[in-house]
Amino acid sequence: MRALLVANPAATTTSARTRDVLIHALASEMKLETVTTEYRGHARDLGRQAAESEDIELVVALGGDGTVNEVVNGLLHAGPDPERLPGLAVVPGGSTNVFARALGLPNDAVEATGALLDALRERRERTVGLGLADGPAGSEDQGVPPRWFTFCAGFGFDAGVVGRVEQQRERGKRSTHSLYVRQLLRQYLEEPHRRRGTVTLERPGADPVPGLVLSIVCNTSPWTFLGNRPLYASPQASFDTALDVLALNRLSTSAVARYATQLLTSTPERGPRGKHAVSLHDLTEFTLHSKVPLPFQMDGDHLGLRTSVRFTGVRRALRVIV
């Protein structure tokens, strides 16, 4: 098997020595070409080259969720075709690694490499669904190119938190769970729309859902992790279905305390619920519109401000080695 390893040298939890060990282990089982990313978007470019090649059968992403997202968008630049395109394997190297952990992989890079090699020997793989987001026709964002996401997207409050974390990382702060918690509190204190949301959810064949402050789109469950604790925003979300949504229409102090507690105690059977929560399951297509520009994030990557985003759930989009 000929494989391409895309390695992010800035991955939070892997050192150069660890990467060398992992590369050596993988190279012992396959014909491996290794490329270290050098700029934002480089992993996407490498994924596209692999998709257009005639002999690469597998792309291994060594890094965090951002690296995985770029590789996936490169592989699927011309659309999903699981039977023709190279498969994807993930060796987690970021701070959270939601996609890898949702697939059932160990969160340790060395252990995950061992699991990957076992899966290749035993020919274990699955075809997972993905989410696609773009700018709706007729909106201010209609020219925004489509982009795939693997586990989640957010429009509004949670995307603002992601944006704040990215700003702190650009200033030299390490990506830690305590950093996320601090930025979440700051986002809440400065959130201008927490009592009256500006977002409306529209979907075919159903009445609009207006007044949303927070809107989380899930392609799998759990939504994320706080340390080793999984958080289930939409417990029914799955790689085998379309998209789920958890939205809140109020972020008062009491509502935040209630829903934060529910998230921290959530399980695969029970997530946040209540009169201010909207939970929708297995949506193939829907759109989020806002009266004002709001932050937007996909797979933990802040993408700036948007007023409208159209989402599509695509089943069986990508072949993954597990």
Query: Which tens digits make up the pLDDT trace of 253-302?
Result: 888 889 989 999 999 999 999 999 999 999 999 999 999 999 999 999 99
Token pair recorded at residue 73: 């968008």
User: Which DSSP string corresponds to 188-245?
Assistant: HHH-TTSSS--EEEE-TTS--EEEESEEEEESSSS-EEETTEEE-SSTT--TTS-EEE
Mean pLDDT rounded to a whole number for the chain: 93
CA dihedral 254, 260, 261, 265 (to 10 degrees): 160
Inform me whether the pLDDT recorded for 195 exceeds 80: no
Percentage of the chain exceeding pLDDT 70: 99
Q: How confident is the model at residue 233 (pLDDT cuts 50, 70, 90)?
A: very high
Number of C-alpha atoms within 13 angstroms, CB side, residue 261? 7
pTM of the model: 0.93
Nearest CA-CA partner of 128 in 185, 193, 72: 72
pLDDT at 194: 67
pLDDT at 75: 98
Instruction: Decide: 57 and 3 in contact? Cβ < 8 Å.
Output: yes
**How far apart are alpha carbons 116 and 105 in whole angstroms?**
8
Region 22-27: mean pLDDT is 93
